[in-house]
Amino acid sequence: MNNSAKNIYKEEKRKKIKQELDIKRLPCAVGISESKFFENVGGIIRTINAFLLQEIVLDEKVYNKYACAGADKWENIIIQKDIISYFKKNNYTLIALEQHEKSIPLWDFKFPLKSAIIMGHEVQGMTDEMLNQCDFTIEIPQYGLVESLNVSTATSIALYEYSRQHRACL
């Protein structure tokens, strides 16, 4: 088999595996429009693969293939300038994961099945404009001296909880 035939075979195999994964996906998504470190977005894509979510929606400036350690080839990565409009058009309930005075503690929150979880920037957090467009704001309670979690860590905790609530119901 020459190299081009090998590549076609590999791509066919990848598509087949991905189709099998697609059947088991939960109807949940993550959205990121601002990020300082590609490694954090790469870590989030790996977590999305672990919990098998529907998709991740990113502004093109936050996505770097090489920071994903290969996890991106199994995932539905949608590149969109306006992530909020994308989620609204696709009938997701928008959930800002952010520390805010109006936030609901994560353990009091029942995730709607079709949830889009929106993450903030590592330094600035989420803009008020974005927060105001979300249906809910939720936060992970913290008790130590460090004021916030790494964005990838925060996403993992929220997705674990979403998955705990919904995976068992499928």
Ligand X SMILES: C[S@@+](CC[C@H](N)C(=O)[O-])C[C@H]1O[C@@H](n2cnc3c(N)ncnc32)[C@H](O)[C@@H]1O
Question: Which stretches of the chain bind ligand X, using CB under 6 A?
Answer: 97-99, 119-120, 122-123, 125-126, 139-140, 142, 148-149, 151, 154
Taking the complex as a whole, the smallest distance from the CB of residue 26 to ligand X amounts, in Å, to 20
Smaller CB separation from ligand X, 20 or 147:
147
Smaller CB separation from ligand X, 71 or 118:
118
Smaller CB separation from ligand X, 24 or 143:
143
CA 43 → CA 47, 92, 122, 151, 156, distances in Å?
6, 23, 14, 9, 9
Give the burial class of 30: count Cβ atoms within 10 A of its Cβ; 0-12 exposed, 13-18 middle, 19 or more buried: buried
Smaller CB separation from ligand X, 122 or 161:
122
Taking the complex as a whole, the smallest distance from the CB of residue 21 to ligand X amounts, in Å, to 26
Strand partners, 118: 31, 96
Alpha-carbon distance of 72 to 5, in angstroms, equals 23
41, 64 Cβ separation under 8 angstroms = yes
Q: How far is CA 10 from the centre of its chain?
A: 27
Taking the complex as a whole, the smallest distance from the CB of residue 153 to ligand X amounts, in Å, to 7
Taking the complex as a whole, the smallest distance from the CB of residue 133 to ligand X amounts, in Å, to 15
